[in-house]
Structure 1
C-alpha cells in the first residue's frame, strides 16, 4: 500500500494519534466552539475552548478504530439529518451482499451530504461503509484533511497543473480504486463527474470511467466493469440548500464567461449543504451493472440512463418544469396536479414560490432549471428520445 500513501484514508492504528492532533488544533477547536456556542464563542471563546477540548477528550476515550469512530458519530449524524430534512428514504439496499465490495457511482449535488447519505444507508444496512473520493481542493486546511481521512475518504488530486503530474495522479487513483475493491474488499463512493451538477443535469464524465481502466489496462474494458461491481446511485433532494448560490454562479458564468470562487466559498457551501433545509431526500441504489460495455462512451450512456430513471421527482421539480422556458412542449409530461395529492402540492407550491421570491430576478432562470432539468431528462428517456 506504500504507493497509495499520499491519498489513502487513515487506518485503525492511526486513529488515536489523529484524534489527538485534531483536539490540539486551535483552528478546529475554534470552529467547533463557534458552532456549539454561537453566542458565547466571541466574548467567552477563551473560556469555552478549554471546556470543549476537555469534553472532546472524554468523548474519544477508547476510540481506536475507524468503525468505533463512526459508531460514536452516528447519533450526531442522526440529529443533523432529522433537523435538516423531512425524512430520508432508501431503496435498492436489499441487492447489496455482505462480503462484496462495490463501486458506488453517484450523481453529485452536495459536497458532503451526497456520500454521507450513501454512508448512512449502507451503515444502517449493517454493511461496511465505502471509502469516499474527495477532491484536494476541499482539503485546504490540515484539520479538514484529517477529519475526512478519518472517515474513510481518499484524496483525488485535482489541483495539479502539469500534464505528467495529472497523468501520474490518475494512474495512482485508478490503481487505488481497483486495489480497494478487488484486493481489500472495500467499497468506493465516487461522483459521476468532477464538481456538482449545478444545473440539475446529471451526466457521467466518460473521463472518469476511462480513469477506472488506467490501473488495469492489461484486461478488456468490459472485464474491468464487471470486476468493479459498479452500482449507479441516484440521490434526490426535494430542495437544495445551495440552489441560490448555484444559480448565482451560473448567472455570472453566463454573463462574464468565467467564475472565480471567493476565499472560503467551499467552506460556506459545505456548512450550508450540511445544515440547510432539504425537504425529503431519497437515495436509490440501482442494479449492479452486469452487461457488456466495451468502452467508456457506452458505459456512460447506461450509467446516465439508470441514474436519471431512478431519480425521484418531487412536486417542486414539476412546478419548476411548468414555468421553465426550456421545457419541451412536444413531450408528454403530466401536470403536477395529476401526480400529487392536492394538499401536498399546495404546500410545495408555497415553498417553491418562497424560493423564487428569495432569488434575484436575474438568477431565477438558473434556479428554475436546477429543479426542472431532471423532469426533462426522465421524460425524454421514457419517450425513447435520449
Structure 2
C-alpha cells in the first residue's frame, strides 16, 4: 500500500512503471521468487524441474542474478530485453517492416493507440521499432487482470508498464481510478515528454475485428476535463498527441486458442479461462511462428474531432487504412467462401498456399470456421463491410 507521504509526493506510485532507484530491489526480489523460478524451470528445464525441483530453482535464481548483475536502470533492463527481442525476431518471424515512424518528431512524446492482437507483442514491436530508430521506448498500458502474480507485476513494471484498473468495484471507485490513470497519462505526455502505448479497446480483438471503444477516449481526457469542465474534448485529445498504430501479423501463434474461446462464447455464451492461460498466451505469442509482421504509425489526431465517437472513428479509419493484409488473410476468406469480390491473389504465391494449408490442417475441424474468421475478418473490415455476428 502507498503511504500518505508517498501519495503526496508521487500520486501515481501504485500504477506507474518502476523508476531507476527501484530496479535493484525488484531484480533481487525476482531472483528469489519461487513462483517465477518454478515457471522458468518448467519452461527451460522441464525434466530437471520434475526430478530435482529445488536444484532447478537454484539454477534459475543463479541465472537471473548473472543476467542482471550489471543492470541498475530501466534502460539497461530494456537493453537486455532488446537482445531477446532480436533473437525472437530471427527465430519466429520471417520479416518485420515499419512505416510512418520517420514522419513523427523524434523529440516529441505521443500517445500511440493501436489495434490489439497479442498481449505482449503489440507494444513490444512498437518498442523495438523505436529502439531501432534510436528513440525512447514507450510506457505500456496493461490491465490489472493480467497482474495476478506479484512476479508478473514486477516484470511488467520493470518494462515500463503502468496499470489500468479493471478490477475496481463500485462507480465511485472506478471513476477515481480512471481519473488517476488519465492524470498519469497526461503527466507522462505533457510533463515527462514520454510516449505511451495503449490498446484501442479492452482485451485483444480475437475475432480480427479492430474497433476503437469511445470509452477509452473518455478516460484519456478525464483529467483535462476535470481541470476545465467546459473545455472541448478535442482540446484534450490534441494535447495528448494521439497517433493511431496498425499492427498486422501474417500468422497468430494463439489462433487456435482464440478460435476455441470464440466458439465457446458463441455456443455457450461465455468462456472460462484457466488460471495461467494469459501467461501461456504471452509465452506462445513470443515463441510461436508469426510469419511476416507489419507495423505502421499514423498521423496525430487534431482538435477537430470533438466527440469520443468522432475520435474513435478517426482512429479506426487510420488503423484499417494502414493495416497490411497478408496472403493468409485472403486465403482464409477464400476458404470461408464469402465476399469473393474482396479476394486479391496478386501477391499470393504457391508457397503461401502451401504454408496456409499446413497451418489449417493443424486446426481441429470444429474450430476451423472460427480460426478462418480471425484471418478473413480484417479483409472484410478494411473494405468497410459489415461483418455478420
Alignment of 1:249-288 (within 5 A): 249-288=261-300
CA shift, 1:149, in A, is 0.2
Alignment of 1:306-317 (within 5 A): 306-317=318-329
CA shift, 1:368, in A, is 1.1
User: SS in structure 2 opposite 1:216?
Assistant: helix
Q: Whole-Å Cα distance in 2 between the matches of residues 320 and 73 of structure 1? A: 34
Q: Does 1:201 align with 2:201?
A: no
Q: Whole-Å Cα distance in 1 between the matches of residues 199 and 16 of structure 2? A: 17
CA shift, 1:7, in A, is 0.5
Aligned to 2:15: 7
Aligned to 2:35: 27
Aligned to 2:4: none
Q: Whole-Å Cα distance in 2 between the matches of residues 169 and 88 of structure 1? A: 37
Aligned to 2:233: 221
CA shift, 1:88, in A, is 1.2
Aligned to 1:129: 137
Find the partner of 2:120 among 103, 112, 115: 112
Q: Does 1:361 align with 2:346?
A: no
Which ranges in structure 2 are unaligned for 5 or more consecutive residues? 1-8
Q: Does 1:70 align with 2:84?
A: no
Q: Does 1:300 align with 2:312?
A: yes
Q: Does 1:340 align with 2:347?
A: yes
Q: Does 1:56 align with 2:60?
A: no
Q: Whole-Å Cα distance in 2 between the matches of residues 221 and 253 of structure 1? A: 35
CA shift, 1:24, in A, is 1.3
* Contact 2:31–2:62, Cα closer than 8 Å, also in 1: no
Alignment of 1:91-170 (within 5 A): 91-170=99-178
234-243 or 251-260: which moved more? 251-260
TM-score normalised by structure 2 residue count: 0.92
Q: Whole-Å Cα distance in 2 between the matches of residues 145 and 26 of structure 1? A: 15
Q: Does 1:16 align with 2:36?
A: no
Find the partner of 2:259 among 233, 247, 256: 247
Q: Whole-Å Cα distance in 2 between the matches of residues 297 and 168 of structure 1? A: 23
Aligned to 1:84: 92
Q: Whole-Å Cα distance in 1 between the matches of residues 139 and 115 of structure 2? A: 16
Q: Whole-Å Cα distance in 1 between the matches of residues 60 and 382 of structure 2? A: 48
* Contact 2:121–2:285, Cα closer than 8 Å, also in 1: yes
69-78 or 199-208: which moved more? 69-78
201-210 or 39-48: which moved more? 39-48
Alignment of 1:172-187 (within 5 A): 172-187=180-195
Q: Whole-Å Cα distance in 1 between the matches of residues 273 and 60 of structure 2? A: 32
CA shift, 1:69, in A, is 1.1
CA shift, 1:334, in A, is 4.2
CA shift, 1:291, in A, is 5.4
Q: Whole-Å Cα distance in 1 between the matches of residues 10 and 101 of structure 2? A: 34
User: SS in structure 2 opposite 1:105?
Assistant: strand
User: SS in structure 2 opposite 1:323?
Assistant: helix
Deviation track 1:122-143 (CA, whole Å, cap 9, x = no partner) reads: 1111111110000111111100
Find the partner of 2:46 among 38, 48, 55: 38
TM-score normalised by structure 1 residue count: 0.93
Q: Whole-Å Cα distance in 1 between the matches of residues 177 and 355 of structure 2? A: 44
Count matched residues. Answer: 373
CA shift, 1:270, in A, is 1.3
User: SS in structure 1 opposite 2:280?
Assistant: helix
Q: Whole-Å Cα distance in 2 between the matches of residues 360 and 334 of structure 1? A: 25
Aligned to 1:384: none
Give the aligned CA root-mean-square deviation in angstroms.
Answer: 1.6
User: SS in structure 2 opposite 1:86?
Assistant: strand
Aligned to 2:353: 349
Deviation track 1:188-225 (CA, whole Å, cap 9, x = no partner) reads: 10000000001100000000011111111013211111
Alpha carbons of 1:94 and 1:43: their partners in 2 closer, same or farther (altered >3 Å)? same
Q: Whole-Å Cα distance in 2 between the matches of residues 243 and 60 of structure 1? A: 34
